[in-house]
Amino acid sequence: MTGKLILARHHESEWNKEGKWTGLRDRHLDPYGFKKSEDMGLLIQDIKVDQAFASMLVRSIETLSCMLNVCKRYEIPTEHSAALNERDYGDYTGKNKWDMEKLLGGEEYKKLRRGWDYPIPNGETLKMVYGRVLPYFMQNILPKVKEGKNVLVVAHGNSVRALIKYIENISDDGIADIEMPFGAIFIYEVDGEGRTVKKEVRQTESEVPA
């Protein structure tokens, strides 16, 4: 019997609050982000987490730490990998999202943020993120789930969306409609290939994506 696969996005960082694209830039959670990360941990207290994964970026690591502390899972095996890092926003790193929306227009802005293969100067597309996330998932995360372990993965909006695309078998066009809001927990039961058998969504409260 497989374990549960639990996906979460880090909570609010200093730059999220300011509306800036953070990408690979390392920024800590802000005080609100720390508090809400603890609330995310409360959502999974009923699940005995056996293994955890996070990116190499501090906002992911801090969110995971808060969640595990609340769950009193202090010493479980934890792995960090750059494969789970956020999308590289290249030349747009540090730019204000809402200013860019005004500059590009709503349709182009949505393609930039949520599209599958929309190019960013000196950055990554979601397709490129998928290309590094999926092999890591198949080689490192899925085997633990297949062993019957409950696995928690705390990553980023786009790296989590890349995982969801595979797990839920979402089309290239369909992924544009998938959001990973702050405070959401996606809990999956998957088959041997890592595809969805059952899905549950838990949410700290009504929060908008950022």
Query: Binding site for substrate: which residues?
Result: 9-16, 22-23, 59, 86-89, 97, 113-114, 157-158
Residue pointed to by tokens 């409360």? 42
Decide if 10 is catalytic: yes
Residue pointed to by tokens 């190019």? 119
The single residue of 10, 62, 124, 156 carrying the catalytic annotation is 10
Token pair for 8: 């979460």
Euclidean distance between the first and the last CA atom of the chain, given in angstroms as a whole number: 36
Interior CA angle at 55 toward 33 and 2, to 5°? 100
Token pair for 109: 């802005």
Q: Which of 134, 147, 152 is nearest to 77 (CA)?
A: 152
Known binding-site residues equal 9-16, 22-23, 59, 86-89, 97, 113-114, 157-158
The single residue of 62, 86, 124, 156 carrying the catalytic annotation is 86
Neighbours of 210 (CB within 10 A): 16
Q: Where are the alpha helices (DSSP H) in 8-105?
A: 14-18, 31-43, 58-70, 97-104
Q: Which residues are catalytic?
A: 10, 86
